[in-house]
Structure 1
């Protein structure tokens, strides 16, 4: 849609702009004075109350009152942040087709639900490196929250000021400055329900020197975090086997192996009848299922074919695994964040600074035990002379031939969960000058940043060649009876097959030189015409590589396995060292038209050495006819440059985890046709000729303040995207075979050998919504009361995978990556008197339609709304000490139930994008100041 078309659309809706965050911040006691500052979204210094910007300002004091200690926590409570798979838990799901498989352990921002790469994250107004392996977005774990003074969230596009990535908005973390003294803090939180999930933090922040008096200030801050893992088996609702609610895992493996039909094996190519009077030939049989005791083994369940559109008769004696319950609910983490900053007053008009930030985050991802099927080609069927040979003839399997080896499918429970260690290192060194030259303010900055990340195989993974040889010995027992264990010799053999060590690693680099000048250009009848002009020169770099010669990730037990082949590890193709140069110029005007009406005009031109040039304008206004009403709005364009991963081809195959019917070789469903239940190899790849994503967007609205300390607001916003960078998922490609037929490669026999999915400039999308809320400050003899509510009503989010497909409405519908909930809000009421203060916060997320499983005969259902409350209180009666204690999830609200397939989105019976896995959690923090 063209810019003028969007402007007309906005005008029809009404006028409004989001100033609620600023109204709240200015009403609180933290605001000491009004001074000319540079606010996120503009390069012109002005009074903080001026400008045409929908900026929400969140102070460190407000975060402390609400018991918020991480950036991820803060964003999860904001309606403007999308409900996406952007947490460390959701990013752990390497099986999801639409998941960035290189984000292990990271957490991302996702404003407006437009994706982590469309939210620009700044530290003190400047860019930081994106995640070291993915390169797609900034890892919020790298933000030193213990040293943050405030957070500024711009809820509008800002490519005209900052360039790429600012389509969804900008989050600017502002660090403490000019601090004197030392603050020491400890924080401890523990879920009250038994199990893991304990979190601990210790921090120390200190500074000395006064800029005005001593002409320098030095600040340093160090925070240490340690989080314990929370596992699915520690929460009853994390249960993937609830067939009465249409939830059951779709798998054919079990810790007590299923015997399968393969030619020249014990069950034969056509299977066998069981007992007398039943003519059905069963092709997958489990000895425990014959006795109705699949659940005699931990995590074992009876397969539920009626939920997966399969023949009930053919799968009557098949056992399955509740592998969903084996997922972790929250990852273990060890981290530190360090900030050091020196500020020096060179003269009354010029200040220099040097700033160093460094962080390390170590986390572990736990996945379910691997599964595999033996093959004749690999020669790994269970041998006839093996000590654990399972003769099903005596159990009533009539055509079982005990003179032949047994083909089986096994969940490798005795190998343990697959555990991957993820480490992310971040460093950033920045130096700069700012000050005044006559009537003009200037700033110059030079920074260099680097993020390195890597993954190590820790446990649960096996070399395929060694596993093949170990299976041939027959020492490993695929049929360990309930209550029994593998022999020590078998465990030693299992241990000898395991692959451990460095799997892969990557690095992103950023070097930036920027500068700007601002001030008055001329006097107009309504006031000063102010301007800003600046430049931005950057070099971005990226490289990614598996550990040379260490592991080759494969999807099955091939007969030609090499010494480095590892079963089901999450490998990616190497990307050699890449770099690109960005050169940008921008200018901005603040134009006083008449008294009470100001315009902001901005224009920026960016030139990328690899994807070309783009120019983006912005027009914004602020109109305040009186003290009670404020109108403001904006119209602008934006862009997002493709990441290096999105541009790079990838040839590493993955294994599909759900069945697919080949429409060419299986035109109708047939239980005996193996092409009706295929599991495919596929790749998720980048594309070198991708173009930047383009946006046309705007906001318009009103804030009404009938009393000094009472304010209401409503903002309409809209973002239209074209040439959208979107990862085509395997499900989309499979479910639209006719459209994507050219993405299915076939071998000489006509069977599908590989499916290509991945990044495309895939048509367009349109997103619009309404931000709303209010705040009130009331002083009374009982204390000072404050109340506030901030919410987002999502009017519509429509998108399509390709131009020849219709737009699809996704608000209130299940989706694989981001859920577009109709309503999200956070409301709080606070009280303070003398040394006491308390805050009650309520977070509401509306329900949505569950995953569409109607193709299996499962009825559609709506997932329930989800409301949680947090209560925190603090006491400052002890000298220089603040004690804060509270309960997150005060009423111990379990996540709403969902029957989505855990192979598509991580979580069994719940969704980590919405639910809180910890339950009612006690949190206590103590802060002491040496002043």
Structure 2
């Protein structure tokens, strides 16, 4: 059955030449005008340690050259990944991970850019630079941040779309991306690029690079080269794009939020002016409203302030989350998703310095330094809290010296005592901004002799902003050479990556904050056009907290040595071999949040903490740990017959603390005729847990500050009982951290493919692949535990009354997964109008991705389905055609990604709004890029064009933006900049 489906797919490729897909690695750079005259040389390609003649190989390898990237307008690794069909859309891109909280699977990688071949996650893709490892990102310690790659010095990128654990190491389950840098560079060049969205100036990107080198390795016996590059990306926010909105009731999209950006929502609470039973409003009938807002009551309207929206549509669109007439008719909300940053301000600086010297006739030695620094301003919406959770004044007094900081702050701001002993955070009756809703709006059961409890979004403190700084550097010393019929190479390298996160804005000292709120100086009830008093503004500035939140460091020391060449002679030809050894030491050290204690509520315990900060995201520390890895591997290529060649590989790795593993690989290439080739492989894989996943200390985190959720035990049907407090839980503590009992992931993978060339100018291929994994390492979220309560009931911590107090989450060994797909490639060369037309492209068809969260559960199909981390779209395709004539070259490229089912809204809506499908489709996304390059001026190369030339807007999605950042669109799929004019110039001499 599988072979029949494969045959039909191959026939489809043969008929549909529009499915142009990137040239096979064996084709080299198709932009050469005289490829047939190119010198035949033995080169090592990704996927084998044996040097072969070009155009040979049994594994599916995709190559993208610097020329091709320039022609398509690709100026970053982030943009490159979007061109690779085998790289699944994920939350690991720079756009998706630019918030304070980063991604679900790697909360410490904010602002990073990570590969995700086959959808196996960043840790399942091995990233190499010139065939050698870099240090993993300094904070997370999990995988390499691609921002560390010196993009301007890339000569080509080789993407091995096959498991390679038997050759490169156990973490190459999904494949390998090998960035090859330029070498033996001579002359000087300076280049610059500017990318400007045509809608407005928001989201501008600029690049500048300088490179130089001297000395000819062939003539003078040495070469010294170096480069330095800098990038500067400006911010792009939701407010900069009209379609980026979370409030679109006509499309049944409304924000799940409980706070207002202006006038705070007055909420019902025991002992406050508005009791938990609520109040009737003059002219409002018999309904007793439990949440009131002056903007909604006065007729000014919730939308009279920036980002303000009414909550009335929530009553019918998402009643399953507890919205009702009583708590939403006069409540204002925030379209907080529209506040999200879609492109973070980021500055990159990278440098390369390399010296190469001839060591006799057949050997070269080299020393190379590669370094980078990336500063990314992560940003999240202003924090929100409810004052009902604060301690009483009596309790604070009783705390004595333990709450000295709060007492001092309270005195500093001239606090007005709460003689009735209610929460300090509530607005005092004697405060100058007290709202008497009985007198103002006829709130009959409103008691103006009591303080007011309210829910506030801290707009006056600003967006929570952090500076994520990542550095990465590697120093390598090596030698490559040939002795008789043998090639050898050896190298030692030291790599290290550092990272830190600094709080820049939007974070408040908890004691100063609660004292300021209780003093009455701060006005939480601003109407449109009003602003805080100078005294309040000074107090807000005084309460802001700035400083180092966390830092981390990784190192990797590697020694490599290998030899390859002819092993023996068989009747069909020479058998080639390679043997090698690798010794590696990895270390990881993460400080955790040491100088501050991050909290999410005004409990007495939180006030007593040293340097208590409201709204930051704390992380536990990971002790300074290291482990040694040793490996030995061998590879043999056997020409069994003139038509059949086998590749055998075997690698043994031993991980300190974890143990050893042996992984074999068998591949074949069968060529029954010159223009037809069959190939296939089978191998196993093994990925050890990262030090962070093993050793990160447990930390208390707040659940989403904007969404409410239901206790699955006490509120099994939220839509039927929206007033039940157990159906409207917010800010529950989640305990998350490392798991020293994690087991390694294990995999089995196989592929089967065909390459054919029916015409001299046309070559196509198709490769079926499948990967089976077990014991997948997964960061268990409280959302998944809520969805699988019966399985994780023991992780829900309750008090003596059975009320939820916290949820235990963190890293676990999940169940198994089965992932299957087909990769297609095609390249076509033709002469046209006196010039040359080259069409290339790649496409990946996802057949299946079935996963089980834990062993014993049924496998769930995720292809074509909404998912909060990795999307498994049915198709991801790139087509590019380049027409070259004299000094001109023009490239038209097309990127296509198929649509998929939107997030399942059943838990939200309870019952369908009239005529509204709970399951809806997100449309496919196709963009066209057009670029022209001119080289007619001596030493000058000019390139200009349009990214997304038709200005295709991202397809609409109504997903919950708390779990996938982005309002009304999916940042894992779409580029939010819109049509972008990009120009670049290079001067070389």
| Cα deviation code 1:356-387 (max 9, x no counterpart) | 01100011011111101113525110011111
Name the counterpart of 2:288. Answer: 281
> Displacement of 1:239 after TM fit?
0.4
Q: Partner of 2:337: helix, strand, or coil? A: helix
Name the counterpart of 1:612. Answer: 659
> Displacement of 1:194 after TM fit?
1.2
User: How many residue pairs were aligned?
Assistant: 922
Separation in 1 of the partners of 2:746 and 2:78?
Answer: 27
Instruction: Please give the residue correspondences for 1:754-769 in structure 2 after superposition, counting only pairs within 5 Å.
Output: 754-769=806-821
> Displacement of 1:639 after TM fit?
1.6
Separation in 1 of the partners of 2:498 and 2:176?
Answer: 24
Aligned residue among 672, 675, 685 for 2:726: 675
**Residue pair 1:638, 1:695 contacting (<8 A) in 2 also:** yes
**Residue pair 2:22, 2:841 contacting (<8 A) in 1 also:** no
Name the counterpart of 2:307. Answer: 299
**Residue pair 2:22, 2:879 contacting (<8 A) in 1 also:** no
Name the counterpart of 1:456. Answer: 502
In the alignment, does 2:698 pair up with 1:651? yes
**Residue pair 1:10, 1:699 contacting (<8 A) in 2 also:** no
> Displacement of 1:510 after TM fit?
0.2
In the alignment, does 2:232 pair up with 1:173? no
Separation in 2 of the partners of 1:58 and 1:96?
Answer: 29
Name the counterpart of 2:199. Answer: 193
Name the counterpart of 1:877. Answer: 936
> Displacement of 1:780 after TM fit?
3.1
Name the counterpart of 1:502. Answer: 548
| Cα deviation code 1:765-784 (max 9, x no counterpart) | 01111111311111234311
**Residue pair 1:354, 1:430 contacting (<8 A) in 2 also:** yes
**Residue pair 1:91, 1:100 contacting (<8 A) in 2 also:** no
Greater shift in the superposed pair: 144-153 or 84-93: 84-93
> Displacement of 1:21 after TM fit?
2.6
Name the counterpart of 1:827. Answer: 879
In the alignment, does 2:264 pair up with 1:257? yes
| Cα deviation code 1:871-930 (max 9, x no counterpart) | 000111111100000000100011100000011110010110011100110000000111
**Change over 3 Å in CA distance of 1:563–1:688 after alignment to 2:** closer
Name the counterpart of 1:412. Answer: 458
In the alignment, does 2:560 pair up with 1:529? no
Q: Partner of 1:738: helix, strand, or coil? A: helix
Structure 2 residues not aligned, in runs of 5+: 14-20, 392-422, 913-917
Instruction: Please give the residue correspondences for 1:142-291 in structure 2 after superposition, counting only pairs within 5 Å.
Output: 142-255=148-261, 256-276=263-283, 278-291=285-298
| Cα deviation code 1:176-218 (max 9, x no counterpart) | 1111111210111100111411111110111111111111111
In the alignment, does 2:36 pair up with 1:29? no
Name the counterpart of 2:324. Answer: 312
Aligned residue among 79, 82, 93 for 1:87: 93
Name the counterpart of 1:636. Answer: 683
**Residue pair 1:161, 1:602 contacting (<8 A) in 2 also:** yes
Aligned residue among 355, 374, 380 for 2:387: 374
Separation in 1 of the partners of 2:40 and 2:309?
Answer: 65
Q: Partner of 2:25: helix, strand, or coil? A: helix
With the length of structure 1 as denominator, give the TM-score of the two structures: 0.97
| Cα deviation code 1:273-300 (max 9, x no counterpart) | 2225722222111121224511111111
Q: Partner of 1:414: helix, strand, or coil? A: helix
| Cα deviation code 1:560-609 (max 9, x no counterpart) | 31341111211100111010010111000010000021110000010001
Separation in 2 of the partners of 1:358 and 1:450?
Answer: 10
> Displacement of 1:668 after TM fit?
5.2
Separation in 2 of the partners of 1:62 and 1:472?
Answer: 62
> Displacement of 1:50 after TM fit?
1.9
> Displacement of 1:663 after TM fit?
3.6
> Displacement of 1:463 after TM fit?
1.2
**Residue pair 1:96, 1:904 contacting (<8 A) in 2 also:** no
Separation in 1 of the partners of 2:696 and 2:78?
Answer: 31
In the alignment, does 2:491 pair up with 1:445? yes
In the alignment, does 2:340 pair up with 1:337? no
Name the counterpart of 1:795. Answer: 847
Separation in 1 of the partners of 2:672 and 2:30?
Answer: 21
> Displacement of 1:545 after TM fit?
1.1
Q: Partner of 1:381: helix, strand, or coil? A: coil
Instruction: Please give the residue correspondences for 1:67-146 in structure 2 after superposition, counting only pairs within 5 Å.
Output: 67-93=73-99, 98-146=104-152
> Displacement of 1:26 after TM fit?
5.0
Name the counterpart of 2:596. Answer: 551
Q: Partner of 2:338: helix, strand, or coil? A: helix
| Cα deviation code 1:295-324 (max 9, x no counterpart) | 111111111222222353222211110000
Separation in 2 of the partners of 1:97 and 1:52?
Answer: 36
Name the counterpart of 2:761. Answer: 709
Name the counterpart of 1:805. Answer: 857
Name the counterpart of 2:793. Answer: 741
Separation in 1 of the partners of 2:969 and 2:40?
Answer: 47
**Residue pair 1:728, 1:801 contacting (<8 A) in 2 also:** no
Instruction: Please give the residue correspondences for 1:584-623 in structure 2 after superposition, counting only pairs within 5 Å.
Output: 584-623=631-670
**Change over 3 Å in CA distance of 1:19–1:250 after alignment to 2:** closer
Separation in 1 of the partners of 2:204 and 2:278?
Answer: 50
Name the counterpart of 1:929. Answer: 988
In the alignment, does 2:336 pair up with 1:323? yes
Aligned residue among 375, 378, 392 for 1:362: 375
Separation in 2 of the partners of 1:35 and 1:143?
Answer: 27
| Cα deviation code 1:691-714 (max 9, x no counterpart) | 111111111111111222211111
Instruction: Please give the residue correspondences for 1:513-524 in structure 2 after superposition, counting only pairs within 5 Å.
Output: 513-524=559-570
> Displacement of 1:664 after TM fit?
3.3
Separation in 2 of the partners of 1:754 and 1:446?
Answer: 48
Separation in 2 of the partners of 1:674 and 1:575?
Answer: 37
Structure 1 residues not aligned, in runs of 5+: 1-7
Separation in 1 of the partners of 2:753 and 2:187?
Answer: 43
**Change over 3 Å in CA distance of 1:823–1:816 after alignment to 2:** same
Name the counterpart of 1:866. Answer: 925
Separation in 2 of the partners of 1:667 and 1:357?
Answer: 56
> Displacement of 1:789 after TM fit?
2.8
| Cα deviation code 1:320-358 (max 9, x no counterpart) | 100000000101111111000111111112211100011
**Residue pair 1:20, 1:713 contacting (<8 A) in 2 also:** no
> Displacement of 1:659 after TM fit?
2.1
Greater shift in the superposed pair: 813-822 or 66-75: 66-75
Separation in 2 of the partners of 1:497 and 1:94?
Answer: 20
Separation in 2 of the partners of 1:400 and 1:789?
Answer: 68
